[in-house]
A = this chain, B = another copy of it.
C-alpha cells in the first residue's frame, strides 16, 4: 500500500475549471484577439484535423495552399469531410506568391474558405500572410491559418488581420507543452462550423466545444490532462514576463543573425529573411555533400542540426532557433557547427567571418 518511488510528476490534482477559462483568456492576448479561443487536449496537428473536419462540408469550396506535408494533410481532411478542394501548390519548399493566390481566387470566385500555413518549420519558409489576408477579406472569404510554427516568432494580430480560425501550439516559440493546442474562432467561423453535418461527440468536433462556451465556460469541456495545463500556465507566466512582442523580436534577431552568419560563411540560406521563418533557418547543402555525413560532423560539437522534411527539402539542413533556442550562443553554435561540418566534408567555410557577422547582427 506504499509507493516506493517518487517523481514530481506524480499525482497532480485535477485542473480547476475556473483556471481553464483563464488559460484561454491568456492565449487571447498572445493571439491579439477578442474572439473565442478554444483549447484542444492534443497536439496541434489534431486541432488542425478538427478544424478541417468541423468546417468542411459537401458544397463548400476551399482554396487550400500547400507548401508542405501539413498543407497536403489539411486538404485530405477537407476532402474527407466532403468539401471541394482547390489545391494551390508552391514550388517545393518555397512560399506561395500572393499573385498566384489572387489568380486562383479570380479563377474560382465561388471559393468560400481559404487555408494556409503561415510558416513552415520543415523548410524554414514563410507565406505572405498579410497580403493573402487582404485578398481574402476583400472577397469575404473565411480564412484558416496554421500558425503553429509562426506564433511567437512573427507578428500575429488575429483581429487586425481578420483571421477566422488560427491554430497554434505552445511547444515551439512559447517553449511550452506539446500536449495541448489552441485555436481562435471568429463569429464567421462559428457560422460555418454550426452548419448541419459537422461531427459531434468527437475529438474532432469544434461544435462540442461550443457547448463549453455557451454554458459560460463554468465546467471543463471533457477530461483534461492536468500536467499539460499546469505546464501551459508556467509557459504563459514566462511569455507574459517577457512580453509576446519581445519574444517575436528575439526570434527575428536570431533569424537575421543566422542568415547573416550563413552568408558570411559562404553558404546560401535557402530563403531570404523576408520570405523566411523566424523559427527555423534552412540552408542548402553544396552539391556532392552527403547530408547524413554533414549532420554527423556537427554532432561532436553538441549542436543539433537536422534535415529538412518533405518534397524539395531533402537537401536542406535546418538550424532551429525556436523558443529557448532563439539565443546568441545557440545561433553562433549552430552556424559554426555547420561551417565546421562543411570544412570536414572538404568545402570552404569562413568560420571567422560568420562569427563576426552574427556578433554584429546580435548587438544591433
Contact = CB atoms under 8 A, between A and B. Distances in A.
A301 B328 contact: yes
A203 B201 contact: no
B6 A230 contact: yes
A18 to B, nearest CB: 10
Interface in A40-75: 41-46, 49, 73
A251 to B, nearest CB: 11
B238 A3 contact: yes
B178 A225 contact: yes
Contacts of A328: 1, 301-303, 333, 337
B355 A356 contact: yes
Given A177-B9, A332-B355, A359-B351, A241 B203 contact: no
Interface in A73-90: 73, 76-77, 80
A207 B344 CA distance: 42
Contacts of A12: 6, 8
A162 B363 CA distance: 50
Given A41-B42, A43-B41, A202-B49, A227 B355 contact: no
A354 B2 CA distance: 25
A300 interface: yes
Nearest to A74: B201
A124 interface: no
* Main SS class of interface, A: helix
Contacts of A362: 300-301
A231 interface: yes
Contact of A329 (B9, B302, B351): B302
Contact of A330 (B3, B5, B11, B329): B329
A171 B227 CA distance: 12
A156 interface: no
Nearest to A237: B5
Interface in A314-364: 324, 327-330, 332-334, 336-337, 339-340, 344, 351-356, 359, 362-363
A327 B352 contact: no
B45 A179 contact: no
Contacts of A196: none
Ranked nearest first, the 9 interchain pairs of A and B with the lowest CB-CB distance are A329-B333, A179-B225, A355-B355, A352-B352, A7-B234, A8-B8, A1-B302, A9-B231, A178-B225
Given A4-B241, A8-B9, A204-B204, 4 more contacts: A1-B250, A1-B302, A3-B238, A4-B242
28 contacts: A1-B302, A3-B13, A4-B16, A4-B238, A5-B241, A6-B230, A7-B8, A7-B231, A9-B177, A9-B230, A10-B231, A49-B202, A77-B202, A171-B223, A179-B179, A179-B227, A203-B204, A204-B204, A225-B228, A301-B362, A302-B329, A329-B330, A329-B332, A329-B334, A339-B359, A340-B359, A340-B363, A352-B353
